[in-house]
Amino acid sequence: MRDSSPRKSSEQERAPGYGIQIGYRTLSIRVEEKDLPSKAKQSTDPADAIASIDVHLISTDEVYTRYSCHPTVGLEEAAVQRRSKDGKNVISPPPTQYWKKVLNYIFGGFNFLMWIAFVVTILSYKPLGGSSPAAVNLGVAVLLMLVIIISATFYAFVDWNANRIMKSIKSLIAHEAAVIRDGKQKLIPATDIVVGDIVVLSTGDRIPADLRVVAASSDLRFDRSLLTGESDMVPGSLEATSDNALETRNLALTSTFVTQGTCNGIVFATGDRTVMGRLVKMSGETKFKLTTIQKEIWFFTKVISSVAFSMFGISLLLFGVWLRTSYPGYDTISLAIMNSIGCLTAFVPQGLPLCFALSLTIIARRMSKRHILVKNLATIETLGCMSVLCSDKTGTLTAGKMAVESIAFLDHHLLVSEMDEKISEAPEPRFFAGLSALHHTARLCNGAKFDSATADLPIHERNVKGDPTDTALLRFSEAMSIPALNIDTSALLSSWRKLFEIPFNSKNKWMLSVVQETRTTGGDITERDSQAWILVKGAPDILLKSCTTVTRSDGAVVPFDEASRQYMAELQSDWSSEGQRVLALCRKPLDALKPNLSPNDMEELMYSELCNLTLVGLVGIRDPPRPDVPSSVAIIRRAGVRVFMVTGDFKLTAVAIARQVGIITQHSVDTIDDVKAASSEKHLTDVPLPSIKPSDDDPIRALVLTGEDVSALTSLDWHIIVGQYTEIVFARTTPDQKMKIVEEIKARGDNTVAVTGDGVNDAPALKAADIGVAMGSGSDVAKEAAALILLNNDFASIPVAIEMGRLVFDNLKKVTLYLMPVGSYTEFMAVVTNVVFGMQIPLSSYLQVCFSITNDVVMSISLMYEKAEADLMMRKPRNARTDRLTDWRLFLQIYLFIGLMSWPCAMSMWFVYMDQQGLGFHDVFLAYNNWTDGYHGYTIAQLTHFVNVGQCVYYVTMVFMQYGNLLAIRNRRVSLLQSNPLWGPRKNIAIPIGMVATALIAVTNLYGPSLQNVFQTAPIPGMFWGPPFAFGLGILCMDEVRKLIVRTYPKASANLFLFS
């Protein structure tokens, strides 16, 4: 890390287990807090406040003075207490524009059609109703208004409830920051940061407040895409590179990320006073973006609404240009409008938006139980489309709790658990003198640090800030104490100073530190007249090429000849094949270290010195798979989702872990050579990209590729990889290569790609994926890029989320299938017979509206509580591009199967009742304006009574016929006998509750005195209560026959009989 000011060694304080990562070279004067000369009063305008920032233009020493803090001591507790009175470090959310939400609740979904119907109904009452308007018109208007109010209230409640549940889950994410206070590094809640705090940042950290950078590693990089929209990494700097605070590189701004390197910064603004806080204040509310399922429902809403409005217009047009002139007196304009209202209500599946809104609440409740944070609940449905899951290894498939298991020198290797025993059995301890050099390298070339607040705990229980690999080496080296070999961690830390560092990054795959021994004279720390050392640790396949000598277990250094290289390479392969991550620890004396080199020059020098290294030894680190991963991978694969591993680890280690968790099951694993051979033989240039996918009949094939292989792949090679392989491991990949892998897979086979990861190197791929899944213990960068966060690091939550995504889509499809045949088709046929065939309307406008917005909605909501069908997680993933919420199969079942049974049954009951009154089919059909006083000897009052009762017969038939429809569409294949709603695995108590509720609504409509007076409803003869149940049973039996055909001939019937 580069330092910005000269050092006064007496200021350096070291505590056991802690050391400032890079010693500061500062000459600072400790000052008391006082009123420093203040700048001019800041403007209340956010833009002016940002423009007035000048902390980046002053020197580092002036920054320390302005904020009364010390480079190594930080702030004292008393200063923290005083400054905390300024408020918490929290950015206030933008003010919610409630008027927009209210408008969306009132006019959203199909409510806008209800408003049109309401306005038209009011007009039909007055002035179009004449001097004595029909009370039923006003009653229908009141009912429509109640529907709008209830729908809007429901939308608002569901939205509030889902947001409340998600906020409670979000509160479980603990945002912490490492700060230096009272000379110690501490982990504190990010909300407790105050101005003047020195914040210690490393790769992957979210920047918790606005900071002026005062110390930085040479490779420091920031991700400012949240502020600027640019995805390129921005280099960090100690000096101002621009007068503009938003463009200079020596400021680290809140809510951006450290993507590479490490740095320390002094907080100059917190909360709403940060740049991000001020921008939020200026920008207001974020824009809403529709998800896949929301687009589907919105598309369906637009289509249905257009058809409904068109039918409404055609109905009125027919009245105006034909019925009014050809059959005068048949309908008044008021009555024509009321009958045409049925077109609006008949075509509108009012329950669909309500059911989708309800599904969000159900999802939120289930998500909260599993501690899953979903940034947008509606994105869960996208998981149901997932066809490829690209998973990182470390911390995702594995537990992320690494521990050093093996160590090796040229002539000896041993398990850590046996180390003490082997040393005690040796003739003398010096036989293992090489452990001293290994301990020296592992402890000083390390980017992890213990939290000083847990320093009193046992080593394995202490909190550590750092990546899992460094953490494993830190715990291992901290625990090493061998007095006979003078191995003592406390003494090592107090006698060595770190001069420079190049942190690990996923491209180099190594970390480098420059250290020099020190001694204390008169209380001051000074450097001995000794050499500086370059210490390096990293991937053996990268570093072994730069080694010319190697250490034996007794500490002797010998030439690293070809036989030695072969031995170490074989040892690496053996350990990797067992699933261990292998690191090489190397070092080299640095004879002449020029003073006062700039950071960039120092970095160039280190790269040039990265040769002629001494291999100290190999370290094997075990990171066991999470116990829930193998079973979860098996479930995901049974669901038709291919699971690929994409990791930066060594090839053999990756393959070993992939076998352990079930990603690779084949004994033979292909390589890049097999891909190249296949691409040269096959001509795939003319194959459409969506069709490039493995077929069901293809054998399972496994493939392993390295990052180097990925860089050399052509478009044809990718056709082979995506189109022929089911099991793939991508090893030694960089972040850019991970992103390329995701993009290439997405481009072929209509794949919906999900990516799981937890590290900084996973962030580009998480962003590029259709849906990113991050672990709760992962880096801030990964969690920001992901759409879904598993707070409990529970990989088993992924198949649950896939199932929920599929279940939401399945249930919405069932809701559509339930609503349309009777609530739309059967109602519409009633309107058609009136407008076109001159028959008295078999279903009044009130009963049409009532059925659509009460009976149907009550019953359809119960479908959202349906559990997953037995085969849900054994189906192929839904193709988001071609498999729509409504397709030709669905409409076939609506209009030519269920609908074709439903409306004739309801219409037949109307004709049967009329026939009992002495009015045959031809007396009712094509009656037009003949239906007047004296028609077949009946008065107009009697005829009106017949119509009113007949309409109630039609209505009751629809209500109870829906019982059979509801039970039929609960399953695509399984018989009702194996999935009844009262008990067993498919129990859904909401079904019988919905049935009782819809029956009570029907009884209320027919026997409620007030409703009879206003809406002319009437009780129906007892014989008409039974047949609707028989009709429902008939529909159910016909669907059972369909299911039997599907089960008996699954392939032959797939296209014709598998409607839903």
Instruction: Look at phi and psi of residue 558 and say left if phi exceeds 0, alpha if psi is from -120 to 50, else beta.
Output: beta
Task: Return phi, psi of residue 1058, to 5°.
Answer: -90, 80
Of these residues, 3, 210, 219, 392, which one is catalytic?
A: 392
Distance of alpha carbon 636 from alpha carbon 873, whole angstroms = 8
Task: Return phi, psi of residue 502, to 5°.
Answer: -115, 105
Cβ proximity of 951 and 911 under 8 Å: no
Kindly report whether the peptide bond that precedes residue 127 is cis, defined as omega within 30 degrees of 0: yes
Distance of alpha carbon 519 from alpha carbon 697, whole angstroms = 72
Q: Clarify whether 392 is annotated catalytic.
A: yes
Distance of alpha carbon 662 from alpha carbon 645, whole angstroms = 11
DSSP E strand boundaries for 690-813 = 702-706, 727-731, 753-757, 771-775, 788-790
Task: Return phi, psi of residue 967, to 5°.
Answer: -70, -30
Residues 627-632: contacts with CB under 8 Å, at least 24 apart: 628/794, 628/795, 628/796, 629/397, 629/661, 629/795, 630/660, 630/661, 630/662, 631/796, 632/795, 632/796, 632/798, 632/799
At 966, which helix (H) or strand (E)?
Answer: helix 940-968
Instruction: Look at phi and psi of residue 545 and say left if phi exceeds 0, alpha if psi is from -120 to 50, else beta.
Output: alpha
Distance of alpha carbon 465 from alpha carbon 451, whole angstroms = 7
Q: Cα 937 to the chain's mean position, in Å?
A: 71
Instruction: Look at phi and psi of residue 551 and say left if phi exceeds 0, alpha if psi is from -120 to 50, else beta.
Output: beta
Helix, strand and coil percent figures for the chain, each rounded to 5: 50, 15, 35
- Count of alpha carbons within 13 Å of 454, Cβ hemisphere only? 14
At 492, which helix (H) or strand (E)?
Answer: helix 489-495
Cβ proximity of 856 and 992 under 8 Å: no
Distance of alpha carbon 669 from alpha carbon 729, whole angstroms = 10
Cβ proximity of 333 and 315 under 8 Å: no
Distance of alpha carbon 928 from alpha carbon 658, whole angstroms = 76
DSSP 552: -
Cβ proximity of 782 and 774 under 8 Å: yes
Cβ proximity of 121 and 324 under 8 Å: no
Q: Which amino acid is at 495?
A: S
Pairing of strands 210-216, 2-3: antiparallel
DSSP 478: H
The residue count of the chain comes to 1060
Is residue 127 helix, strand or coil? coil
List CB contacts of 456: < 8 A, sequence separation 6 or more. Answer: none
Neighbours of 43 (CB within 10 A): 12
Token pair 């919905």: residue: 994
Distance of alpha carbon 936 from alpha carbon 971, whole angstroms = 49
Alpha helix (H) residue ranges in 408-486: 419-425, 434-444, 468-479
List CB contacts of 398: < 8 A, sequence separation 6 or more. Answer: 623, 624, 625, 626, 657
Distance of alpha carbon 339 from alpha carbon 335, whole angstroms = 6
User: What's the token pair of residue 874?
Assistant: 């054994």
- Annotated active-site positions, please? 392
